[in-house]
Amino acid sequence: MIRMFSLGSAIFVLAVMGLSPAAHALHLEFTGTIDGVIGTPPAPFADIMAGDTWTVSVDVDDAAMDQNVDADAGSYLLTSLTLTIDGAMESTTIGQVAISNGPDNDTFAVLASLPTPIPDYTIGVTLMDSTESVFSSDALPSSVDPADFDFDVFSINGVTGGFTVTGSLAPVPAPASIAPLLVGAIVIGRRRR
């Protein structure tokens, strides 16, 4: 006998059986360098300084619905975000990925509040393309290449305590510049044999 279940029942049955519905995850990672620190951020980032390396890892459910009704602006809730600066780390599930398809720029932005449950600061990674050629809609992209954008910024702003941290994304090596490095590594490896 075939039984029909509503979506809610199917999820409940999977949870009872110890299974979870298939998750669709888009994982993005951005890295760069701190350019400036004004004021003193709270722990665990109290000792960061210009020149430190930052990394933002973001996971978004790529099957999630667009939260913005505007046809040229998409908003997707993130499922997790981890910020790491010089070994110090914080994570959150409070935030969004925003997509703008023109009219002045194509924009990809990650906006989040840290730490949880009471946010003390906001972080953002913003990429903009003034040629408006990166996106053809406000849909969540399957990948993001910072080299496709002509402007980027990383920022942390204190909700309390009045501090600001700014940074830029690390340049992504062009494939043509990676090839000579790979050839060199192969040659050196063969000479050592």
Q: Tell me which residue of 45, 17, 60 sits closest to 163, measured CA to CA.
A: 45
Task: Provide the pLDDT for residue 179.
Answer: 46
Q: Residue 41, preceding bond cis, omega within 30 degrees?
A: no
Structural domain contains residue 18: no
Quote the pLDDT of residue 9.
30
- What string of DSSP letters covers 48-106? --TT-EEEEEEEEETTSPPS--STTEEEEEEEEEEEEETTEEEEES-EEEEEEE-SS-E
Q: What's the pLDDT at 103?
A: 86
Would residue 52 count as lying in a domain?
yes
Residue 9: inside a domain: no
**Domain with 152 in it:** 24-187
In which band, very low, low, confident or very high, does the pLDDT at 89 lie, cut at 50, 70 and 90?
Answer: very high
Residue 11 lies in a domain: no
The predicted-structure confidence for 128-180, as pLDDT tens digits, reads as follows 999 999 999 999 998 899 999 999 999 999 877 788 999 999 865 544 444 44
d(C-alpha 128, C-alpha 107), whole Å: 4
**Does 180 fall in a domain?**
yes
pLDDT at 170: 82
For residue range 43-73, what is the model confidence (pLDDT) as tens digits?
888 899 999 999 999 999 888 889 999 989 9
Residue type, 24: H
The share of the chain scoring above pLDDT 90, in percent, equals 52
pLDDT at position 64 is 85
* Number of separate domains in the chain: 1
Whether residue 172 lies inside any domain: the answer is yes
At residue 130, the pLDDT reads: 94
The 10s digit of each residue's pLDDT in 9-29 is 322 222 233 333 445 588 999
CA distance 119 to 184: 48
